[in-house]
Amino acid sequence: MIDVERARRETPGCEHVIHLNNAGSALPPQTVLDAVVGHLELEALIGGYEAHEQNDQATERVYTAAAELLGCRADEIAFCSSATRAWDMAFYGFPLERGDRILTAVAEYASNFIAFIQVARQKGIEVVAVPNDERGQVSVEGLAELVDERVKLIAITHVPTNGGLVNPAAKIGAIAREAEIPYLLDACQSAGQMPLDVDALGCDMLSLTGRKYLRGPRGTGLLYVRSNLIERIEPPLLDMHAADWIEPDRYRLRADARRFEEWEQNYAAKVGLGVAIDYALELGIDEIWERVHELGERLRAQLGELDGVNVRDLGETRCGIVTFDATGAGAGEIKAALARERINVTVAPQSATLLDTRERDLPELVRASVHYYNTEAELDRLVDCVKIAARC
Ligand SMILES: Cc1ncc(COP(=O)(O)O)c(C=O)c1O
């Protein structure tokens, strides 16, 4: 069980706000803050390169910590500046040709879909959104029916940006494996709130961000690429960290996943992300998931009882992200009213998941995302304030 009191004591932000925007950017624990500030101070005192050398173990920890988190090898991990860049490095480098097909989800994230459209235009590939099942998650049967020799990539978002839905990632992985189709999982919103094991998920590539449920610094992301696939993916952007310049007209790519990285990195943030992952591992991902899941369901039930409030989360399994709209007030108005009470939530814009928005005719949604350090009393306070803001 999570020691909520302790987690709150170790999170300075808990004294200032009711933070229910954990899927935006969670409050970091003090240890993460100390690690980031400590590294920045060291850079200022002895020089940036020298600080990197001196703190080498701490900067390297992110790879081994991520390997523990995801059940993979450290050399299958690349450190990136965001989940989007991590995903891009795999996607844009993935070999695709005219006539190839990508299977994706209805609730796919805008940045991923924009990349699909661009590559579809440039290379003449086809992008197909697998229909949802009756629960509103990717239909596993629908996916299986769409698999044929044209499908060269399955790219799915685990937890979409606009709701609590958890797509059946492992069942999708089983189909991908059987059909031997590479599988790219956007785990940006699931990482840190639920267990993720790349073998159990059956994914070959996975992207995540540091600042959300992992409680790491902003401007951090990770990419996992299965070792047998690394050599097949030529990163769309290269530098002298990703490759060695070996002849005037030749370079040699690194053999490990760091070929997807940039030479220049935010080392303070990198150190902080390693500490954030360690903090989560120490608490226990299963324990984190149990509490986040429970709080998410509690909040959904409470909001569902309010007149004029529509909770919009779909799926068989739902996570710590709770989305709703209200007949009495718009999402922006509710967010502003809550902010006046020092309650942080965000608004899920319609364009962030355009296919899903259109399919379900969704308005802008209020997105309240709980973490294990939130208390039941904080959820009660949110519900009371929504009641007033939305004139329920
Ligand atoms: C599903 C999903 N994928 C990717 C991202 C992008 O993450 P980042 O901002 O780290 O690039 C987000 C951010 O909200 C997201 O919700």
Strands (E), the chain: 18-19, 77-80, 101-105, 126-130, 151-157, 183-186, 205-209, 221-225, 243-247, 250-253, 309-311, 321-326, 343-344, 346-348, 365-369
DSSP code string of 307-337: TTEEE---SSSB-SEEEEEESSS-HHHHHHH
Cα-to-centroid distance, 221 and ligand 1 (Å): 10
Q: Name the 3-class secondary structure at 365.
A: strand
Strands 343-344 and 346-348: unpaired
With contact defined as beta carbons under 8 Å apart, do 155 and 103 qualify? yes
Q: Which of these, 264, 233, 191, 205, lies nearest to 23 by C-alpha position?
A: 191
Cα-to-centroid distance, 6 and ligand 1 (Å): 29
Q: What pLDDT is stored for residue 210 in this prediction?
A: 98
Q: What pLDDT is stored for residue 51 in this prediction?
A: 98
Pocket of ligand 1, beta carbon within 6 A: 82-84, 109, 111, 157, 160-161, 186, 188-189, 209, 221
Question: Mind listing the pLDDT tens digit for each residue in 104-128?
Answer: 999 999 999 999 999 999 999 999 9
- Gap between the Cα atoms of 226 and 75, Å rounded: 9
Cα-to-centroid distance, 209 and ligand 1 (Å): 7
Q: Cα torsion for 264, 269, 275, 281, to the nearest 10°?
A: -90
Question: Mind listing the pLDDT tens digit for each residue in 303-331?
Answer: 999 999 999 999 999 999 999 999 999 99
* pLDDT (average), residues 219-241: 98
- Gap between the Cα atoms of 84 and 94, Å rounded: 15
Ligand 1 atom having least distance to the Cα of 210: 10
Question: Mind listing the pLDDT tens digit for each residue in 342-354?
Answer: 999 999 999 999 9
Question: Mind listing the pLDDT tens digit for each residue in 237-295?
Answer: 999 999 999 999 999 999 999 999 999 999 999 999 999 999 999 999 999 999 999 99
Q: What pLDDT is stored for residue 191 in this prediction?
A: 98
Share of the chain above pLDDT 70, in %: 100
Helices (H) and strands (E) in the chain, counts: 16, 15
The residue whose CA is least distant from atom 15 of ligand 1 is 161
- Gap between the Cα atoms of 42 and 268, Å rounded: 10
Q: What pLDDT is stored for residue 63 in this prediction?
A: 98
